[in-house]
Amino acid sequence: MSGLDEADDTTPLLRDDSSSDDSQNEGYRSRWRSIRVMYFTMFLSSVGFTIVITSLWPYLQKIDDDANASFLGWVVAAYSLGQMIASPIFGLWSNRRPRREPLACSIFINVSANIYYAYAYLPKSQNKYHMLMSRAFVGFGAGNVAVVRSYVAGATSLKERTGAMANMSACQALGFILGPALGACLSFIGEHGVTVNVIDLQLNMYTAPALLAAAFGVINILLVVLVLREHRVDDHGRCIQPINYISEDSVDVSEEMEEPIDQAAVVTSNILFFIVMFIFAVFETIATPLSMDMFAWTRKEAVLYNGIIICGIGFESILVFLVVKVASQRVGDRPVLLAGLAIIFCGFFILLPWGNHYPKIQWADLKNNTLVNQRLDGAMTANSSVEPTGCPYEQTWCQYTPAIHLAQYITSDILIGVGYPACNVMSYTLYSKILGSKPQGVYMGWLTASGSGARTLGPVFVSQVYTILGPRWAFSLICGMVVGAIILLSSVYHRLIAFSVRVGRIVD
């Protein structure tokens, strides 16, 4: 223990009011109050994304007869594209101004976009494009994730950061779980609901989730304005003034600012995060069509069973985040990231088809459904009461590719539910440590943009490869990507270290 630590322990009464325990504790409490506001912001960002997901397609069909499944893909992708564009912008803003400003502005955009979404039915034509724009603006507002991550990274010490990032990821996962649940609860309003003539609003099962997300956003703005305070600490946990507001009595951080960031480690971290997000986007996109093709589930069964599985993975992720905090303290961040990638590889490798059992082909159902019933007047009508199930005959690989067993599918879900959250939280925790105490807004903006780009490209990739070539090719390519990520991580393993460790201020 140093002499300074001994003085803190033995002579607390000798300090003046500005450095008293009460003053120090108040600063500590204010810092963690602000961090918890960031947790809540991340939670609401996830809720805002998922609360309308289950009703998105029927709402689109209701307001515009010309909308098809291909356009739905653009509507879904619009969110990620908006977030990808906004993340670097809000990140740069947060470096130059108080972070309360970009946060409040982005949440306001989010609130307005959700209200726009609720009124997308109102125009007389081209309603699908109004929905597309509203989802793009919702995603643009969600670009504040970069600001949230940079704030938490800058307001925590090296020792606190992994735990804080894990807590934030747990809040994000909880939002992904509760969002669809809230949307389902609001379905009791019904498709017609009630009409509020004063504001020309149809309050129904499609518009209510977006309006609830907007109400959450208003609460979030109030918390940001009233509770959030600017806090920055160095890797040791000592408070420093934000670089934008250096005054005569602020701590001098110029010495640290002179040290360059390891750009190779930064680029590698962005690539690894892109791969992790790309893989999970593939996983969540392929789940429903894969299960319908392989297990001959109906649409209703696929939605129900996969919904249960996704909720299970969400709760599993929360447990993983708690375990990651302990594991990273014992073995370090890099081994946890490496182990997570290995587990993801196992999850997709298990999905590779094998054996001599083949999926049910849909043409058998098509034959049955084209059987005609003789009416009393002699007219012939098709019997379409039975929904076709199984692998569509248009997918020629169904005829020669073995079926994936349900046990394979469930085991894969469990493994990916362990590997993905571990990789996710370790990716940006390690990234924030590599950046050190420098303002991280722009860098976190690029990280968030790379994740958004992955969530945009992943569904496009898997829909094309899976439809044309089948699961064997799709999952083999994913396994190859994971192996590439493991090789990349191993090759730069020694460079993915905290800034303070690299410059010799903290011993690893």
HEC string for 152-166? HHHCCCHHHHHHHHH
Up-side HSE of residue 502: CA atoms within 13 Å toward CB? Answer: 19
* Sequence-separated (6 or more) residues with CB below 8 Å from residue 245: 230
Residues of the chain with CATH 1.20.1250.20: 19-251, 253-371+389-508
What pLDDT score was predicted for residue 7? 36
What pLDDT score was predicted for residue 58? 76
Strands (E), 263-406: 372-374, 380-382
Amino acid in position 204: N
Counting every residue, how long is the chain?
508
Residues 172, 142: Cα–Cα separation, whole Å: 12
Are the beta carbons of 150 and 440 closer than 8 angstroms? Answer: yes
Pick from 169, 178, 147, 391: nearest CA to 280: 169
In the block, residue with structure tokens 């990789």: 423
Encoded tokens for 467? 């439809």
Q: At what angle do helices 145-154 and 21-50 cross, to 10 degrees?
A: 160
Encoded tokens for 129? 């494009």
Surface-to-core class of residue 254, CB atoms within 10 Å of its CB (0-12 exposed, 13-18 middle, 19+ buried): exposed
Q: Are strands 372-374 and 380-382 parallel, antiparallel or unpaired?
A: antiparallel
* Sequence-separated (6 or more) residues with CB below 8 Å from residue 210: 51, 52, 114, 115, 117, 118
What pLDDT score was predicted for residue 112? 94
Encoded tokens for 294? 């392989």
Are the beta carbons of 344 and 415 closer than 8 angstroms? Answer: yes
Q: Specify the DSSP element, H or E, that contains 428.
A: helix 406-435
Surface-to-core class of residue 98, CB atoms within 10 Å of its CB (0-12 exposed, 13-18 middle, 19+ buried): middle
Residues 276, 238: Cα–Cα separation, whole Å: 33
In this structure, the dihedral spanned by the alpha carbons of residues 3, 9, 13 and 19, taken in order and rounded to 10 degrees, is 70
User: Which CATH fold topology does 19-251 show?
Assistant: Growth Hormone; Chain: A; (1.20.1250)
Which residues are registered as beta bridge partners of 195?
202
What pLDDT score was predicted for residue 338? 94
User: What parts of the chain have a pLDDT lower than 70?
Assistant: 1-24, 54, 68-70, 73, 235-237, 240-259, 299-300, 303, 363-387, 437-441, 503-508
User: Which CATH fold topology does 253-371+389-508 show?
Assistant: Growth Hormone; Chain: A; (1.20.1250)
Strands (E), 402-466: none
